[in-house]
Chains A and B, each alone.
Chain A
């Protein structure tokens, strides 16, 4: 059997993986050159994103393929939506890399997230970098998968390295803090094992039902078995996207992992889960009513539970973790309809969500690095004290809430609701409408904290001391972080002036 290989279209996946190998080789040849390793990683991610860019120009129905069988089916298929997901994942990973750069490069004398990053064991940086690259390669491969084998392998490639990323903490952290992050890693590991079990079971049933591992248009010999298979696969993927009731790991892992890794889990990993869902939905074509109802229930439960719990959080990272759960419901929402553009709608929503969440994480990290911690109270009065940070954060929050002036978020909500309303699933539409209101309460609570008068009993003492502290922080904040804030803010503003709508 001849397999037609077209490496050019797999470059978005290959570039980060090649970079991962290069980093490991470089580490063996030139140990201790951490900045070089990080540079190679950045080039790999940026190169992958560049290679995926031409895919955005594809017209509907066209795709870039690789590993094509003589029968015409391809194991790697990247159309416009897949390319957009790949670009999102790779650029998101690049943002995380920049965020973690100083901590991982360790040794410029500045304070890391937990203060003091000098020295450390130099052997760790190449490991974490290659783990990040490996996971990102997996994420980029998932949405393009054309058969169950590729799907499962790339999903695990996207997940397992993140467990290690959560566990490999900062060497200077206190023993108790490290123990907690191991706890988070264990939660993540247990979850991913269970979900892999469900996925493998689903895949086996799928093959039994259709007689092939290829995903392109299955001819169901056993419709009931195929339905069972899709429910198993759906449950497995619900773990990854942290939809209720498969969400229990999310708050534990998010709060114990180092902040850049949390940002990675909340954004790039979600792209993998959604990519897999998109592959599944496309393969099933006209989905069974039962699967639709299952997706609808997952969506409704996720957004309701996520929003309600987020409403009472007092820590920004925990709040973002629960907001992730709620937003997972919004991403799932369009998939609960029969619309042909449901997958594109979910992808478009995810895109806006990733940009806004990354921006929120960058700002939270900048504030935390300044010593104010991640508590909500620590950001009281930020709009007056540090407007350059508070305004982008406010924009990100309004985008997540879907309120103008952040029209990008509002259009994303419209895009996500449209297929559901088009189908006439009124109960789901009304649940979503109520959740818009609760979501706004969640994000505006944070926004109100930014807006309110600064607390007088803060650790900064008098105004002058506070200003001095802010000035000192500003000097310690790397320029690259400001560039990230500016770039992500520009993206949101552009998306608000000229919204993309559906990819």
Chain B
């Protein structure tokens, strides 16, 4: 039946007009215009209300996602000279590697701007004996309200999306770097100004910024090194050259600098310490974007800037990288078993999932790269889903501590509960859901690594990664036991509101779809993967 549907689908797609470069403009321009509009509007004497702000913001994200869809379908390319004296071109376009990620970015972007912003008031010092007694606390508001600085908040979300899209679309190393850096200031504002006032939000924001900037500048050093060695900053040309003409010693140094910079962003164990803290503080939408989009910049950077560009240097460091990846899987899995803050727990599970992705990359085979790209997208969707749920719960509960007795989700808020079950199941890597294919592929790839990798080590990594998979089941069950099951009904909290339901349904449907039909994604990435690994 699917075969008979295919021609119909193809005919339907042919109805979409080919606007050429217009699609790329449509993908980026609404975000920029929306952000500038909101930034100026926020300075008017009579600031616009929340309805108008949200309409502008959601409108910009939706129009942009249409542009992204068109770009992914027709794959137009933009080439304009930008900085002639440095030989930098404004090259924007997609290929098999970036198509899934730009689509993921725009879906998650729409979800992030849909969510309501609630900045809780600064905590009052409560009498000691009344602490944690939440049974009589008022039922929190989850509708959209006029929060001070709402326009700036939405402008920052749009700017983060813009930067991520520029980085994913970039066909030039310097342009990729510009996009990579563009997300920093808005993300810093989101955490420092709209984060949880009960925690040290300015410290968390500063830590995020410092770590990322050190990483990105190291990456810049590596990029400039490759650019001087090859004489161009065109990424397509870099991939064609496959490291020709770069001495082995230089390749090793360049790969080390690039991997170190990107590992801070991914983050790879032991450079991961900033992530749980930032996630625990950031507002829900910022957490969603951070987990689902910004961390992907790191793994995408490894695939785009290291694996094909300095293959010999990467091969040298791959065993170490794989080892660190699998250590991250185990370490984060153990941390999840004892973590007492639900949001931090999800952040730790992100580190574990990205450990699988890094391990798959290090294996150096086509299967490994496929698994890594698939795991990337799957983690983006699952983490976005979980952060929507957990962020919503944190707002309703007032904190995300697991030690406090709450109403069981199964009883009180069945919709949020169902989404949490789906998300945790996908996170455990159950077959039929998106998380499965990335993890099983990573273990398989590590078991049969490329010819020039030390097989014994990688087989050990594969075994350890399988143990990490078991750990993810254990902590998943722990979360469900603590917050989902049970029959406690107090204190009552409201269930998912309309925007949350919309976001959760969208993400949940995609998680199931990719779990059932992984070929949808694998078919898109396959040709690009052959080109990257091709030898």
Contact = CB atoms under 8 A, between A and B. Distances in A.
Contacts of A448: 192, 202
Given A387-B43, A404-B178, A404-B185, A421 B224 contact: yes
Given A418-B228, A499-B82, A437 B213 contact: yes
B51 interface: no
Interface string B213-230: 110011011001101100
A444 B85 CA distance: 30
Interface in B79-101: 82-86, 88
A498 interface: yes
A498 B174 CA distance: 14
Contact of B221 (A405, A417, A499): A417
Contact of B86 (A387, A414, A436, A451): A414
A411 B224 contact: no
B512 interface: no
A319 to B, nearest CB: 17
Contacts of B250: 424
A410 interface: yes
A426 interface: yes
A433 B217 contact: yes
Nearest to A384: B43
A434 B225 CA distance: 17
Nearest to A339: B228
Contact of B174 (A414, A451, A502): A414
Contacts of A410: 177-178, 181
Contacts of A403: 181, 184-185
B475 interface: no
Nearest to B193: A451
A429 interface: yes
B210 interface: yes
B434 to A, nearest CB: 32
A498 B84 CA distance: 10
Contact of B85 (A413, A434, A502): A502
A501 B85 contact: yes
Nearest to B88: A501
A415 interface: yes
B182 interface: yes
B228 A421 contact: yes
Interface in A404-453: 404-405, 407, 410-411, 413-415, 417-418, 421-422, 424, 426, 429-430, 432-434, 436-437, 440-441, 444, 448, 451
B163 interface: yes
Nearest to B166: A404
A489 to B, nearest CB: 15
Nearest to B249: A424
A414 B220 contact: yes
A415 B217 contact: no
A422 B213 CA distance: 21
Taking residues whose C-beta sits less than 8 angstroms from the other chain, chain A's interface range is: 35 or more
A404 B180 CA distance: 9
Contacts of A421: 221, 224-225, 228
A198 B206 CA distance: 43
B218 A422 contact: no
A241 interface: no
A417 B174 CA distance: 13
B29 interface: no
A140 interface: no
Contacts of A501: 83-86, 88
B83 A434 contact: no
B185 A429 contact: no
B214 A433 contact: yes
A411 B83 contact: yes
A500 B85 contact: yes
Nearest to A441: B210
B21 interface: no
A410 B193 CA distance: 24
Interface string A482-503: 0000000000000000111111
Interface in A452-503: 498-503
Contacts of A407: 178
A17 interface: no
Contact of B224 (A398, A404, A422): A422
Contacts of B209: 440-441, 444
Interface string B114-140: 000000000000000000000000000
A381 to B, nearest CB: 12
Contacts of B84: 501
B494 to A, nearest CB: 30
A501 B233 CA distance: 14
B155 to A, nearest CB: 11
Given A421-B224, A422-B228, A501-B83, A437 B210 contact: yes
Interface residues of B, number: 37
B522 interface: no
B188 interface: yes
B305 to A, nearest CB: 15
B439 to A, nearest CB: 34
Interface string B197-209: 0000010001001
Nearest to B212: A437
B103 interface: no
B474 interface: no
Contacts of A430: 218, 221, 257
Contacts of B181: 403-404, 410
Contacts of B88: 501
Nearest to A436: B217
A414 B224 CA distance: 8
B228 to A, nearest CB: 4
A444 B221 contact: no
Nearest to A418: B224
A434 B86 contact: no
Contacts of A422: 224-225, 228
Max count, chain B CB within 10 A of own CB: residue among A403, A404, A501? A404
Contacts of A433: 214, 217-218, 220-221
Nearest to A421: B224
A429 B83 contact: no
Interface string B144-178: 00000000000000010001000000000010011
B253 interface: yes
A499 B83 contact: yes
Given A411-B83, A414-B86, A398 B217 contact: no
Contacts of B217: 432-434, 436-437
Nearest to A402: B181
Contacts of A434: 214, 217
Contacts of B221: 417, 421, 426, 429-430, 432-433
A321 to B, nearest CB: 23
Contact of B213 (A415, A440, A451, A502): A440
A411 B86 CA distance: 9
B189 interface: yes
Contacts of A440: 209-210, 213
B185 to A, nearest CB: 6
Contacts of B85: 500-503
A434 B210 CA distance: 9
Contact of A426 (B43, B220, B253): B253
Max count, chain A CB within 10 A of own CB: residue among B159, B178, B189, B192? B178
B188 A444 contact: yes
A404 B220 contact: no
Contacts of B188: 444
17 contacts: A403-B185, A410-B177, A410-B178, A411-B83, A417-B224, A418-B86, A418-B227, A422-B228, A424-B225, A432-B217, A434-B214, A434-B217, A437-B214, A440-B210, A444-B206, A498-B82, A500-B85
Given A421-B228, A501-B83, 19 more contacts: A404-B185, A405-B159, A410-B177, A411-B83, A411-B174, A417-B224, A432-B217, A432-B221, A433-B217, A434-B217, A437-B210, A437-B217, A440-B209, A441-B206, A444-B188, A448-B202, A500-B83, A501-B88, A502-B85
Shortest Cβ-Cβ A-B pairs, 9 listed: A501-B85, A422-B228, A433-B217, A421-B224, A404-B182, A501-B86, A501-B83, A436-B217, A502-B85
